[in-house]
């Protein structure tokens, strides 16, 4: 196999090595799940002392965001390792799952600031931003490639001056 044929064979093969933009959603999902276990809001009471709530106990939006990010990470890894034939850019699904997770985490982070500043919800928000940005960066080349594949070649269809007109037209 020549060096020119190797990239095409690897690209069309059933398995390939995941790229960074495939690993970021999976790593972000794992980190988000762990951050959900840490305190997202805390209050200090004279009698009871400091009472804190984990992300999962603080808001139902955190587990929903975690499920969305786990699905995004699983999709990114699955399509990176196995050739999944889809009629649309595969990173669009990852971005479509990461964007609502970002919005849910943003709402939860804003609600958590009512109880004082906790760094964990802000970290979780930054994780969702990283996953969404990574998915968007992976989506742009896929959209460009799809647009280029669907566009006719302008040189092949333009008539050359001096050529006779096409018959039957």
**Is 54 inside a domain boundary?**
yes
User: Residue 8's pLDDT is what?
Assistant: 40
Domain that holds residue 68: 18-42+50-143
**Is 167 inside a domain boundary?**
no
User: Residue 36's pLDDT is what?
Assistant: 96
- Using pLDDT thresholds of 50, 70 and 90, give the confidence band for residue 134: very high
Average pLDDT over residues 33-39: 96
**Is 101 inside a domain boundary?**
yes
User: Residue 82's pLDDT is what?
Assistant: 83
- Using pLDDT thresholds of 50, 70 and 90, give the confidence band for residue 100: very high
Report whether pLDDT(7) > 80: no
Which residue from 102, 104, 108 is spatially nearest to 133, judged by alpha carbons? 102
**Is 73 inside a domain boundary?**
yes
**Is 104 inside a domain boundary?**
yes
**Is 112 inside a domain boundary?**
yes
User: Residue 83's pLDDT is what?
Assistant: 80
User: Residue 88's pLDDT is what?
Assistant: 83
Instruction: Give yes or no for a contact between 21 and 77, defined as CB atoms under 8 angstroms apart.
Output: no
Report whether pLDDT(28) > 90: yes
Label residues 28-49 b or e (16+ Cβ within 10 Å = b). bbebbbebbebbbbeeeeeeee
Count other C-beta atoms under 10 Å from residue 136's C-beta.
16
Average pLDDT over residues 37-52: 86
**Is 152 inside a domain boundary?**
no
**Is 3 inside a domain boundary?**
no
- Report DSSP letters for 71-90, one per residue: HHHHHHHHHHHS----SS-T
Q: How many domains does the chain have?
A: 1
């Amino acid at each position: 196999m020549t060096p020119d044929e190797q990239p095409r064979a690897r690209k069309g093969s059933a398995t390939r090595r995941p790229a960074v933009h495939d690993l970021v959603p999976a790593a972000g999902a794992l980190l988000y799940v762990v951050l959900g276990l840490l305190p997202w809001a805390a209050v200090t009471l004279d009698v009871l002392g400091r009472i804190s709530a984990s992300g999962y106990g603080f808001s139902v939006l955190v587990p929903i965001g975690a499920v969305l990010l786990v699905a995004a990470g699983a999709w990114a890894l699955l399509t990176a390792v196995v050739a999944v034939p889809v009629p649309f850019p595969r990173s669009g699904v990852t971005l479509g799952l990461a964007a609502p997770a970002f919005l849910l985490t943003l709402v939860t982070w804003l609600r958590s600031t009512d109880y004082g500043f906790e760094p964990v919800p802000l970290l979780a928000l930054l994780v969702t931003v990283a996953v969404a940005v990574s998915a968007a960066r992976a989506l742009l080349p896929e959209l460009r490639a799809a647009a280029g594949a669907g566009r006719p070649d302008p040189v092949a269809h333009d008539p050359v001056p001096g050529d006779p007109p096409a018959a039957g037209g």
